[in-house]
Amino acid sequence: MDRILVTGGAGYVGSVCCAQLLSRGFSVDVVDDLSTGHLEAVPQGATLHRFDIGDRSALESLLAHKKFDAVFHFAAKALIPQSVINPGPFFDANVASGIAMLEILRRHGIRKFVFSSTAAVYGSPKVTPIPEEHVKEPVNAYGESKLVFEHILKWYAASYGWSVVVFRYFNACGGQRHWGERHDPETHIIPLLLQTASGRREHFEIYGTDYPTPDGTCLRDYVHVLDIAEAHLLALQKMELPGFHAYNIGTGKSHSVKEVWQMAEKLTPMSIRVHQASRRPGDPAVLCASPTKLMQEFGWEPRHSDLEEIIGGAWEWEQAQCESMLAKQAIA
């Protein structure tokens, strides 16, 4: 049985990947300081170690007592607006702490590493769908921190013989009744729309209606987190030889903000009140992945990334959240 160390396994994508690993018979240990993750998100069967990835002594102690075959690295600071106004903590968490982790892993002979990167490394795209070789010009500190760490991993692969797979996510989304997106503050479009539909928010804001797109709103590539998890599992089958390989995880199709809003209204019982707001700095008109490389080399397919399935599952999660809050209020 392979043992996988998952950093950030109490977060949204990390916890889903942990659950999928466990369902396939892997042994899973999670490192998460729970600063943004949630204890209840860690799936039953995974062992949680509560510390920051930059804590060298804690990681050293863990690796002295357990052997791991590979690392899935999800832990990161990821709120893009915050990274623009206060970049320091993003470089500290995503780069400095990451290097501390890598050096402990290297000391213990771990050479298989899967990194959760982001489409933000590309910045404003020159062409769409975006291929992996597209120029990298991040427009925020979050994307820059992820790109810096990609460069570091490339050197580790070349110099130390590591096998590194980097996944550049586009818009991770989706859920089911017992798991889904939960951020504080919430900035993602689908949970914001559904929280408005359930009455937890007064309205949903559309940032920009004058983009050069068919309906004037931004176009984005939405990929179900279960499809992201599947790519990670497939990566484990491709890591026997050293090297650095980067892949986009997206569908190759994009949906506008208005399309997502309309689908949310279709699948929920209430109309969703929206306000139009000005564009946000750094928001490109279109972000759409070319997933061709991932499909050809891994045999991967976005099997769950139909927009109706994505929003339908996320709505199940939102309803469960509302029911839980009502139950807590009744007890109080």
CATH number for the domain that contains residue 112: 3.40.50.720
Lookup: tokens for 255? 């949906």
* Domain-located, residue 182: no
* Domain-located, residue 183: no
Cα distances (angstroms) measured from residue 4 to each of 22, 42, 294 = 10, 14, 22
Same domain, 242 and 311: no
Active-site pick, 12, 122, 142, 222: 142
Same domain, 36 and 16: yes
Same domain, 209 and 225: no
- Scan for tokens 């500190």, then name that residue: 141
Q: Does position 317 have pLDDT exceeding 80, yes or no?
A: yes
Same domain, 193 and 207: yes
Same domain, 228 and 193: no
Cβ-proximal residues to 143 (8 Å cutoff; 6+ apart), any chain = 80, 118, 120, 121, 122, 123
| Mean of all residue pLDDT scores within the chain | 96
* Cα 292 to Cα 298: distance, rounded to the nearest angstrom: 10
CB 89 within 8 A of CB 23: no
CB 144 within 8 A of CB 122: no
Same domain, 200 and 240: no
Same domain, 205 and 314: yes
Lookup: tokens for 308? 């109706």
Please, how many CA atoms are within 13 Å of residue 120, restricted to the half-sphere of its CB? 23
Which residues on adjacent β-strands are paired with residue 163? 112, 243
Q: Specify the pLDDT at position 1.
A: 61
**Residue ranges making up the domain that contains 95:** 3-173+221-249
Most confident among 110-119, 263-272, 278-287 (mean pLDDT): 110-119
**pTM score of the predicted model:** 0.96
Express each pLDDT in 53-69 by its tens digit: 999 999 999 999 999 99
* Cα 180 to Cα 11: distance, rounded to the nearest angstrom: 10
* Domain-located, residue 105: yes
CATH number for the domain spanning 215: value is 3.90.25.10
- Scan for tokens 């949906």, then name that residue: 255
Cβ-proximal residues to 254 (8 Å cutoff; 6+ apart), any chain = 128, 219, 220, 221, 286, 287, 288
* Domain-located, residue 179: no
Q: Is 246 helix (H, G, I), strand (E, B) or coil?
A: strand
Q: Is 139 helix (H, G, I), strand (E, B) or coil?
A: coil
Please compute the mean of the pLDDT values over residues 133-139 and round it to a whole number: 96
- Per the annotation, the verdict on 142 as an active-site residue is yes
Same domain, 259 and 159: no
**Where do runs of H (alpha helix) occur along the chain?**
12-23, 56-65, 80-85, 88-91, 97-107, 141-160, 189-197, 225-235, 257-267, 292-298, 307-331
If one counts the domains in the chain, the total is: 2
* Domain-located, residue 106: yes
* Domain-located, residue 181: no
Which residues on adjacent β-strands are paired with residue 179? 176
Same domain, 119 and 166: yes
Q: Is 44 helix (H, G, I), strand (E, B) or coil?
A: coil
Question: With bands split at pLDDT 50, 70 and 90, how would you rate the model's confidence at 89?
Answer: very high
Q: Specify the pLDDT at position 324.
A: 87
Same domain, 264 and 313: yes
* Cα 310 to Cα 224: distance, rounded to the nearest angstrom: 6
Q: Specify the pLDDT at position 330.
A: 82
- Scan for tokens 């690796």, then name that residue: 63
Q: Does position 187 have pLDDT exceeding 70, yes or no?
A: yes
Same domain, 94 and 214: no
* Domain-located, residue 180: no
Same domain, 310 and 243: no
